[in-house]
Copies of this chain bind each other. A is one copy, B any other.
């Protein structure tokens, strides 16, 4: 089965080139990723499914991982409209739950596999980052935080990318250090209630500390 690389409708004698062929390869690679995950993504298999050969692949991507990343980008649709539950806590938990289910889904496994396979190569990681990669954009967190500030639930100084992304960083950290199974919902609420909400709420200077900006290098 699946010996044919082209659809039956296409004339078998048509030789694909350029963008058309690239499309077919990426489609095949994405299919393999979905079916067999990152370890199953072999150049031979992708070439076979695309009805071409490894030459065409290596002419476009330098190695297996690069192809995998390119293929993943078409798998990850930009599915993140920030939630609006009316409270910061609700929004936070909703975002965390979305991300958690994405990361523990097959797509999340693929993403984690690719991150691992990238082995810290900055270019590959960058390509993996933008396309809705973690199931939640940084931008979404900022708008969500912005609404909270408007409602008076959060201090204006908290409207900072580094602050906004704290919950996602903590969640990702769970996956990195603990491994595959989905993170328990209790952890999500703990991240929200013990870290994010307190952080975002009170930032009034009540402890004696040096100037928060322009640190004098301890």
Q: Which residues of B contact A208 (CB under 8 A)?
A: 152-153
Copies in the complex: 2
Q: How far is the CA of A204 from the CA of B163 in the complex (A)?
A: 18
Q: Which residues of B contact A193 (CB under 8 A)?
A: 212-213, 215
Q: How far is the CA of A173 from the CA of B218 in the complex (A)?
A: 24
Interface footprint category on A: 35 or more
Q: Which residues of B contact A23 (CB under 8 A)?
A: none
Which residues of B have CB within 8 Å of A218? 85, 87, 89-90, 93-94
- Any B CB within 8 A of the CB of A190: yes
Chain B residues near A175: list those with CB within 8 A.
120
Question: Using an 8 Å CB-CB cutoff, how does the interface string of A197-208 with B read, 1 for contact, 0 for none?
Answer: 111011111111
What CA separation (Å) do A124 and B17 show in the bound complex? 45
Report which A residues bind B (CB closer than 8 A): 85, 87-90, 93-94, 109, 112-113, 115-122, 125, 129, 152-154, 157, 160, 162-163, 166, 169-170, 172-173, 175-181, 189-195, 197-199, 201-210, 212-213, 215, 218
Instruction: Provide 16 A-B residue pairs closer than 8 Å at the C-beta atoms, listed in order of the A residue.
Output: A89-B210, A89-B218, A116-B120, A153-B208, A153-B209, A166-B195, A172-B177, A173-B173, A193-B212, A197-B212, A198-B212, A201-B202, A201-B206, A201-B207, A202-B203, A204-B204
